[in-house]
Amino acid sequence: MKSGLTTVADNFKKLFDGVNVLATTRVMVGVPAEKTDRRDEGNNKLTNAALAYIQETGSPETNLPPRPFLQPGIERAKSDIEGGLKNAGQLALAGNIAGVEKQLEAVGLLAVSLVRSVIVEGIPPPLKPSTVEGRIRRRKSKTWRAKRRAEIAANAAYLGEENASVGIFTPLVDTSQLLKSITYVLRKVGKR
């Protein structure tokens, strides 16, 4: 004989909390204010955040061409980001708050990785020979400097004087401080 009693699990609170975490959390990729300091030898007070902005947009005043890396990196990650956010949405609907946060962190790590890969692959235009020479002069090892100058001379014979530094140095990667400062943060909407 049946009692007519049916037990129903009420998961509304878990569902609400999961969706709330997803709706109020943003994945921010770039150079956050907490990671802006640089270890320069000179009196240069330029922060990594300012340097990233200048490189992304260029600076006509200093004859610096734009070398966008943030937007192209995010574009490269777009389909994977969408998939990660879809997974986060499914976890939110299941009320899995820890899973939502973990998935948002995975999306952030992926985006950072792809933004950094844009830089490492090299962003046109190539560095000017004078920029490459300046980078070589700043190095302490005489052996290292001599080897790089020999590579440039060999490239000049092969590629021509204007392209002599191609392959020697990657734009935006000198000390790697900017590259290392690119990260992600999870921010709650309305908080700084």
What's the start-to-end Cα distance of the chain, in Å?
A: 61
What is the overall mean pLDDT for the chain? 83
Q: What is the pLDDT of residue 36?
A: 66
pLDDT digits (tens, 9 = 90+) for 3-20: 677 766 677 888 888 899
| More confident site: 134 or 91 | 91
| More confident site: 160 or 89 | 89
Nearest of 137, 138, 152, 127 to residue 64 by alpha carbon = 127
Q: What is the pLDDT of residue 70?
A: 94
Q: What is the pLDDT of residue 35?
A: 55
Structure tokens at 44: 């240069």
Q: What is the pLDDT of residue 7?
A: 62
- Tell me the mean pLDDT in the region 42-57: 82
Q: What is the pLDDT of residue 44?
A: 64
Q: What is the pLDDT of residue 2?
A: 67
Domain-wise residue ranges, the chain: 12-125+172-187, 127-170
| More confident site: 90 or 42 | 90
Sort 154 into a burial class: Cβ within 10 Å, 0-12 / 13-18 / 19+. exposed
∠ Cα 155 68 49 (to 5°)? 110
Structure tokens at 77: 């990650």
